[in-house]
Structure 1
Amino acid sequence: MLSRENMLQLFPKSARFVDIYLPFIQAVTNQYQINTPRRVAAFLSQVGHESAGFTVLLENLNYSADGLAMTWGTRFAQKDSAGKYIMVKDGSRLRRMPNADAQGLHRKPEAIANRVYSDRLGNGSEVSGEGWLYRGRGLIQVTGKNNYRACSLALFADERLLTTPQLLEEWQWAVASAGWYWDMRRVNRLADGDDFEAVTKSINGGLNGHAGRVAVYQQALSLFEVCQ
């Protein structure tokens, strides 16, 4: 079902990596029984979105102040006295007004990671630097110390990812970690159903980029149903 040709049809920007990652994708989908058109289409659409089409294995946190306000509004956008976001017109669209914190973190990816990921996901305080150390890596963007530890125990039977988290930037472990996360969250069961939003929420925690995920899912589903 998975071939070089159909991967490039779905993710043309990944041409320079496809011969590296494809054997790992084939192995992981076999290992975790991601073996029906619905399951394969769902898996590829989700990990493809998280990795910018199989081209990026490390989270990019180089946000502008505007980007921070749009991505983490509760932290970085100004609100009025009624608690509603203050919106400003930017050409033909409206955007949230960044607050002072957003302005101070503008284009400072390490500081942003340490702010937004501190004291959660098993990370220490902002000054610990663990937000940056355990930022998103791998095809599915494993994030946070707790998830790195759990992933490490599953893949290596030890905690090596806590000291060498950059292993998830290597294709073998980038793909393996995505398979582990998919299986751990039991996403095959969700993929078998008709609620694709539930699949996205299980991976993303919300519906960020859902429309793009749906588009790839539908394209992949049509492709793999023909291949069967």
Structure 2
Amino acid sequence: MAVLRTNVEFAKRIFQDRVGNDYVYGGNWNPFNLKVGTDCSGLVIDICDAVRNGTAMAWTRHGMSTESWRPIEVGQTGTIFNTICVASPNDFPADAAVKIAIHHGPGGGANSHMWCEVEGIRMESNGSDGCVTGNQARSVYDTSYANDWHYLPGPITGQAGVDPAGVLARATGLSVPRAAEILPAVSDGLKASQCTNVNRIAMWLAQVGHESAGFNATEEYASGAAYEGRADLGNTQPGDGVRFKGRSWIQITGRNNYGLFSQWAYRQRLVPTPTYFVDHSTELADLKWAGIGAAWYWTVARSDINALSDRQDLETVTRRINGGTNGLADRRDRYNRALLQGDALLQLLNQEEDDMFTDDDRNLLRQVAGVRRPSLSPLRHLDEGDVNTCAGFAWTADGLTHPQFVAMAAKYGHMDSIRLLGEVAGADPVKYPDRQEDAALAKAILADVYAANPAALQRFAQNGA
């Protein structure tokens, strides 16, 4: 029997509203008081009721407890929700709406326990921690404690709302406008980090969020002078400490690491040269590189982080990034907050799926419009450095060649060109104060036209300019 998407989202919401509540043996959630706690079976009963009936759920225990799921034959249906028994969690169907794990202890009651999962969101109420989720909650795939498994059949029908900025905001605690602002950098970073499942995405958001002070810092606050002369970082030249201070959401620090990151980014076709960030160190603080820099650390500098994330090993990942366990409590809070979004986190990966661009197209666009390059003019300033992008040079070419064409055409009697020169020469200084240098140039060109071809201006005047 299919269940409605709206009902599933309602079930997630009533659970998320109550995470952190106390465990109350025999209790039941209250629709009018979010602080009222429940026990393990009360949570599972309410979640099944919400998934099956949505806002029409009864908000009662229906006279049920863990004992209502006493072992039955595999494949048999039990309880008023028509849940189905399976031999092991490996037998949960992919479209199960609610997955349930149970430990049946002697005599039931306090010796038994149960918990559930909806679309990757762990849901549990236990006597030690209360209502919990994330890695504080048990997995329904646990076989060391659970000895019975059931599921509420799906499939789930109806479209899930696609709101990646909202998902990111809820997963990180950011405002929706700020989440929307950083979403492209987050999405690029997650994809480059190969964070393709819920556990990896949640770990990335938790660790990167902590390291960057809530996705705010793309550059360390100190000057970097403390790194001056640090041979272990490759800072062998005067000024390297400041030049190669920590940048990106997970800080890349030192000439050596800037060089390694540049080579990696070049192989990914993200930059035009293998020494790009050595030559343009301050650009690494730009938001567009914030997630990419973190991805290099995540997949290259500490290449086992994804495997650890798959195991939900928050502490070891923290040690890989921090060298210790500084900020572990904040990282855990961020991790559990992100896990509450469950499969919705996958929306963060799909920012460009609705267009026709390939990865090569996007890389080409970055090269054309995102990478600054030096001028090739023989009269460029000495030590000028990079001045514009390819797209910018094309725009600049318009600014240089169009005046030359207009001046030449006007001298040959081209009426539209003479008319344009007259228009610009007559720019009102009150209305167009920013065009007065252009007006002076137009007047000078008109003077040259008059000297070279006075008949053209006379003809223009006679034809009613």
* Fold shared by both chains (TM-score > 0.5): yes
Per the alignment, do residues 201 and 7 of structure 1 end up closer, same or farther by CA in structure 2, a change over 3 Å counting?
A: same
Distance 2:227 2:189 in 1: 29
The amino acid across from 2:321 in the alignment is I
Query: Gaps (5+ residues) in structure 2?
Result: 1-161, 268-273, 347-465
**Residue 39 of structure 1 is aligned with which of 200, 212, 236?**
200
Q: Which residue of 2 aligns with 1:92?
A: none
**Residue 23 of structure 1 is aligned with which of 174, 181, 184?**
184
Deviation, structure 1 residue 9 = 2.4
* Rg comparison, structure with higher value: 2
Deviation, structure 1 residue 199 = 0.6
The amino acid across from 1:167 in the alignment is E
Which is worse superposed, 28-37 or 190-199?
28-37
The amino acid across from 1:140 in the alignment is I
Deviation, structure 1 residue 25 = 2.0
Q: Which residue of 1 aligns with 2:323?
A: 205
The amino acid across from 1:112 in the alignment is A
Partner-residue secondary structure (3-state), 1:60: coil
Q: Which residue of 1 aligns with 2:236?
A: 124
Distance 2:245 2:175 in 1: 22
The amino acid across from 1:38 in the alignment is N
Whichever structure has more strand as a proportion of its residues is 2
Distance 1:192 1:226 in 2: 17
- Tell me if structure 2 keeps the 8 A contact 1:200–1:206: yes
Q: Which residue of 2 aligns with 1:177?
A: 293
The amino acid across from 1:122 in the alignment is G
**Residue 277 of structure 2 is aligned with which of 156, 161, 178?**
161
Q: Which residue of 1 aligns with 2:226?
A: 112
Q: Which residue of 1 aligns with 2:258?
A: 148
Distance 1:138 1:40 in 2: 18
Distance 1:226 1:152 in 2: 33
Distance 2:175 2:247 in 1: 17
Say whether residues 1:6 and 2:167 are aligned partners. yes
Q: Which residue of 1 aligns with 2:407?
A: none
Distance 1:25 1:227 in 2: 12
- Tell me if structure 2 keeps the 8 A contact 1:134–1:165: yes
Per the alignment, do residues 123 and 23 of structure 1 end up closer, same or farther by CA in structure 2, a change over 3 Å counting?
A: same
TM-score normalised by L of structure 1: 0.68
Which is worse superposed, 50-59 or 194-203?
194-203
Deviation, structure 1 residue 16 = 5.4
Q: Deviations over 1:76-121 (max 9, x none)?
A: xxxxxxxxxxxxxxxxxxxxxxxxxxxxxxxxx454343xx72222
The amino acid across from 2:218 in the alignment is L
Distance 1:46 1:166 in 2: 23
Deviation, structure 1 residue 22 = 0.8
**Residue 336 of structure 2 is aligned with which of 201, 218, 224?**
218
Per the alignment, do residues 31 and 118 of structure 1 end up closer, same or farther by CA in structure 2, a change over 3 Å counting?
A: closer
Per the alignment, do residues 165 and 16 of structure 1 end up closer, same or farther by CA in structure 2, a change over 3 Å counting?
A: farther
Query: Gaps (5+ residues) in structure 1?
Result: 62-108
**Residue 247 of structure 2 is aligned with which of 137, 145, 158?**
137
Which is worse superposed, 144-153 or 6-15?
6-15
Distance 2:218 2:175 in 1: 12
Q: Which residue of 2 aligns with 1:80?
A: none
Q: Deviations over 1:164-212 (max 9, x none)?
A: 1111111121211111221112211111114211111111222222221
Larger relative contact order (Cα-Cα within 8 Å, sequence gap ≥ 6): 1
Per the alignment, do residues 190 and 26 of structure 1 end up closer, same or farther by CA in structure 2, a change over 3 Å counting?
A: same
